[in-house]
Each structure stands twice: as structure tokens, then as C-alpha cells.
Amino acid sequence: MAQSCKYIDNCPLFQQFKHAHGKVVWMLVYCKGDSQAECERLKARERGETPSPTMLPDGSDLIEATTR
Ligand code: SF4
């Protein structure tokens, strides 16, 4: 199993995943899983950017995704 993402302790989205059962799959696939390097949030952080707190690992927006 992959190591947890290095941003896990201060990622606002991860905090939301922890408290939303429907979002656990994101956490398992990205934050604690093998697709971590594909996370758009992680890539933004690596570029020195601060991603929107509602940007999902695939680059879409949490708010838009839940209102569709
Ligand atoms: S959402 Fe992305 S940046 Fe945040 S903890 Fe998960 S893998 Fe890391």
C-alpha cells in the first residue's frame, strides 16, 4: 500500500473526506492510495500554488460535483 500523501495533515479537503462517508473512496484512492501522484491538489501544492479548498483530486470542484 502506498504511503499517505505528505500534505494529508494540512489538506482542507482531506479533513472533509474524513467526515463524509460518501467521500471515503477519494481518500483511499488518492490520499492513502496509489493514485496520489495524480492528485491535482498535490500537483498544485508542488507548483507552490494554493488550491481552492473545494477542489477535488481530479481537478473538479466539490460544490459543483454535489449540486449536479
Ligand atoms: S486531496 Fe490530494 S493533496 Fe489532499 S491529502 Fe489527498 S492526495 Fe494529498
Mutation probe of ligand 1 site: the residue of 3, 8, 17, 25 with most atoms within 8 A of C-beta: 8
Query: Measuring CA to CA, how many Å separate 30 from each of 7, 50, 68?
Result: 11, 18, 22
Where do we find the cell 479533513?
15
pLDDT(66) > 70:
no
Whether 3 is in a domain gets the answer no
User: How many Cβ atoms are within 10 Å of 58's Cβ, its own excluded?
Assistant: 14
How confident is the model over 1-23, as pLDDT tens digits? Answer: 689 999 999 998 888 887 777 77
For residue 29, being part of any structural domain is answered with yes
Residue 2 within any structural domain of the chain: no
Residues in the chain, total: 68
| Domain extent at residue 14 | 8-67
- Predicted local confidence at residue 68, as pLDDT: 57
Any ligand 1 atom below 6 A from CB of 17: no
Is 63 among the domain residues?
yes
Say if 1 falls within a structural domain: no
Structural domain count, the chain: 1
Which atom of ligand 1 is the closest one to the Cα of 45?
3
Cβ contact 41:1 at 8 Å: no
Per-residue model confidence as pLDDT tens digits over 19-37 = 777 778 888 899 999 999 9
The answer as to whether 42 is a domain residue is yes
